[in-house]
Amino acid sequence: MIGQGTVEAVNGLTARWAATLPDDGTVVASAGVWPLLGLLADGAAGPPRNELSDALGVPADGAATAARDLLSVLGSTRGLRTALGLWTRDTFPLEPAWRDKLPPAVQGQFTGDRVRDQAHLDAWAAKCTDGRIDAMPVTVNEETQLVLASALTLRTDWIRPFTSGVMETGTGPWRGRETAGLFRSTSLLNRVGVADTAAGPLTELQVIGAHGMDVHLYLGTPEATAREVLPAAVATLHNRRAVVPGDTLPYGAPGPGLTVSRVPSVDGEPALDVSTVAFTVQARHDLLEHPDLFGLRAATDVSQGHFPGISAEPLAVRQAVQAMTATFGARGFRSAAVTAFGAVAAGPTLRRYRAREITVRFDRPFGFLALHRTSRLVLNAGWVTEPDLFEESPCDW
């Protein structure tokens, strides 16, 4: 089980990172960065140690243990896979105390052939992500002494798949486009809710996946940006009292993209009708563009060494990059498109009842969080500006 302190620390980094994001479609994984910062903090001294501790949200003394525990728990969770890699020059001396805090069998050595070494790192990245990331985001050159890397993959199937089809939008930035729509109806009204946040009202849709992995979609007001919506979305995970669930929402339009009405019904069952879009988001982040956010400002000063706990050789950080891709499809949180038709009973039916009906429509840019349901640890956070276009030809999942 992931400790609550670690969850809050990682989610805090996610929220702060999200507050720096551009309005373009993007995705981040603080759960992949945080363990590396923890391992660096354990071996750092002076100002870099303090800066890394502040970025982590935990004391540096216990950061390596927390990082290793987080990787271990995530790696043993169904639907998740983690990997840690460390590569050094063959003459590079590692401090045994720091090396012993790493998982076993993670260390490799450079050959001195830059092309061969880069190919080896690229192959590691591809293998650990099932080919979704085909190259290591940092490059090996004659100055490189050490590369420390993590890989995090997430795969979850929806408990209830969506139906695929065309979604046309009459307003907003997607107006007139035939996007790859995803549609679903359920009687579980509490899968949707409206949160009162610092970014204004947010409509939250919970899409439940297998093995305790979920994705929440967040729609703000038309003028709300990724920098506003995503930090507010993370905050709602830790303040559920701010979310009004679907079965208690007032009639009318109580939140962005939401309509609550009372309609004729065959059986009196309530209904939540969902319309959203399939999407794939890819991003590459240079962490050194935000050195204070990640506690790396002092650590990049090459005039002196900063990590005596890692090696007696002086070290400074030269590169820090994350490459990421995320996909939301009809059957799960990965690349796919499925087209399906549903059969309904034909003929006139007597509608004796009235029932609550909620419709939610994500037809303009929105945010998403992929999270571990029990701990509420945010694994990925992203912003969708370019939905997939509808294609007549179905694709294999």
What CATH number does the domain containing 116 carry?
3.30.497.10
Q: 180 is written with which tokens? A: 């790859």
Element (H, E) at 324: strand 321-328
- 390 domain residue, yes or no: no
Q: Which domain holds residue 107?
A: 4-76+80-154+283-328
Q: 116 is written with which tokens? A: 């061969």
- 393 domain residue, yes or no: no
Specify the pLDDT at position 328. Answer: 96
What CATH number does the domain containing 241 carry?
2.30.39.10
Looking at the structure, tell me whether residues 251 and 104 fall in a common domain.
Answer: no
Specify the pLDDT at position 355. Answer: 65
Looking at the structure, tell me whether residues 129 and 272 fall in a common domain.
Answer: no
Contact present, 144 and 121 (Cβ < 8 Å): no
Specify the pLDDT at position 334. Answer: 60
Looking at the structure, tell me whether residues 145 and 93 fall in a common domain.
Answer: yes
Looking at the structure, tell me whether residues 370 and 256 fall in a common domain.
Answer: yes
Looking at the structure, tell me whether residues 236 and 369 fall in a common domain.
Answer: yes
- 395 domain residue, yes or no: no
Looking at the structure, tell me whether residues 188 and 253 fall in a common domain.
Answer: yes
For the CA atoms of 204, 206, 14, 223, the dihedral, rounded to the nearest 10 degrees, stands at -30
Specify the pLDDT at position 2. Answer: 82
Specify the pLDDT at position 267. Answer: 75
CA 186 vs. chain centroid, Å, equals: 25
Total of domains in the chain: 2
Question: 0.85 exceeded by the pTM?
Answer: yes
Looking at the structure, tell me whether residues 207 and 303 fall in a common domain.
Answer: no
- 228 domain residue, yes or no: yes
Q: How far apart are CA 20 and CA 227, in angstroms?
A: 6
Looking at the structure, tell me whether residues 321 and 206 fall in a common domain.
Answer: no
Looking at the structure, tell me whether residues 118 and 264 fall in a common domain.
Answer: no
Looking at the structure, tell me whether residues 294 and 360 fall in a common domain.
Answer: no
Least confident of 161-165, 197-201, 352-356: 352-356
Looking at the structure, tell me whether residues 46 and 95 fall in a common domain.
Answer: yes
- 333 domain residue, yes or no: no
Contact present, 159 and 125 (Cβ < 8 Å): no
**pLDDT single digits (tens) 87-97:** 888 888 899 99
Looking at the structure, tell me whether residues 140 and 288 fall in a common domain.
Answer: yes
